[in-house]
Amino acid sequence: MTEKTATGDNKANGKIKGIICILLAAFGFSLMTFFVRISGDVPTMQKAFFRNAVAAVIVLIPILKSEKKFYIPKSSWKDLFFRCFFGTSGLIGNFYAIDRLQIADANMLNKLSPFFAILASIIILKEVPSKFDVIATVIAFIGAVFIVRPTGGMEMIPALVGLYGGFGAGVAYTFVRSLGKKGERTEIIVFCFSFFSSLVTLPFLIFDFHPMSLKQTMFLILAGVFASLGQFSITTAYKFAPAKEISVFDYTQVIFAAILGFTFLGETPVLLSFIGYAIIIGVAIVRWRYTLKKG
């Protein structure tokens, strides 16, 4: 076997491993959404606290085992704060939408984050998007209109809040990219986000705590466990293969969520939602193929 062939095989194996990891991440995040939903009439902030507190404890283990422990260079502080701020507000928006929309709709609005990241990168990373990316973003937002279905009434508020969830996640991921360029550790980024979110939601837990049954508590713990699975899996995926080659597989989260919603919650998305899914996932696939050919 020649060196060139071996390199090609390693690249192919890395891509397969990356796809498996990102599918595992999508499955983990869809289960997080599902358990958040079935935990019932628990306040959004209380759900967010448990999701993040569990994740913070899980990611704490590798940090304590590392040589650097909690060391964070000053150059990372500002980016970490904004990653935490937008990530937390986006997560709260996503959880609010999960409780009030079909879980497939809530997941799809959250999956607009890559397109919001394109816009955020203009300001944060000083990146100028290509005309193709601009057109793709506009088309994706047209798809979002079919899911939000603006009517001017109060019934569209959950969808708009869910849309903000996608915006917050997109801006947060842009700051994650900035931190990655500075060499910041993944576990530190995940821990800071989870710890910050726990601190933000803790006052709501203290002053507006709603007693939970053992079943509800277990569901929220499982939400945190599967959220951690999702975060670690997606981070590992991008270590095996570049985002341009595998990121589109992250949209399987919507499919997993739709299956869970249909099977266990009796949810069937309306026709307009299906049209929105098709537009957003379709433009994501086209953008993925375009990026591969260009690269």
Digit-coded pLDDT (tens) for 63-76: 999 888 888 999 88
Q: Residue 4: pLDDT band by 50, 70, 90 thresholds?
A: low
Angle (nearest 5°) at CA 158 between 154 and 160: 90
CA 15/CA 238 separation, integer angstroms:
9
Q: Residue 247: pLDDT band by 50, 70, 90 thresholds?
A: confident
The answer to whether the CB of 240 falls within 8 A of the CB of 17 is yes
Question: Per-residue pLDDT tens for 184-232?
Answer: 888 888 899 999 999 999 999 999 889 999 999 999 999 999 998 888 8
Angle (nearest 5°) at CA 153 between 96 and 271: 75
Residue 2, Ramachandran bin (φ over 0: left; ψ between -120 and 50: alpha; else beta): beta
Could you tell me which of 162, 160, 158, 230 has the C-alpha nearest to residue 193? 230
- As given in the structure block, the two tokens for residue 272 are 């307009």
Tell me which DSSP letter residue 153 carries: S
The answer to whether the CB of 288 falls within 8 A of the CB of 247 is yes
Instruction: Tell me the mean pLDDT in the region 120-147.
Output: 90
CA 238/CA 176 separation, integer angstroms:
13
What pTM was estimated for this model as a whole? 0.86
CA 109/CA 152 separation, integer angstroms:
18
Could you tell me which of 84, 26, 39, 23 has the C-alpha nearest to residue 223? 39
Residue given tokens 């899914």 in the structure block: 277
Q: What is the pLDDT of residue 14?
A: 78
The answer to whether the CB of 159 falls within 8 A of the CB of 98 is no
Q: What is the pLDDT of residue 2?
A: 58
Could you tell me which of 74, 256, 228, 94 has the C-alpha nearest to residue 161? 94
The answer to whether the CB of 194 falls within 8 A of the CB of 55 is yes
Where are the strands (E) in the chain, listed by range?
Answer: none
The answer to whether the CB of 268 falls within 8 A of the CB of 60 is no
pLDDT over threshold 60, residue 147: yes
Q: What is the pLDDT of residue 10?
A: 66
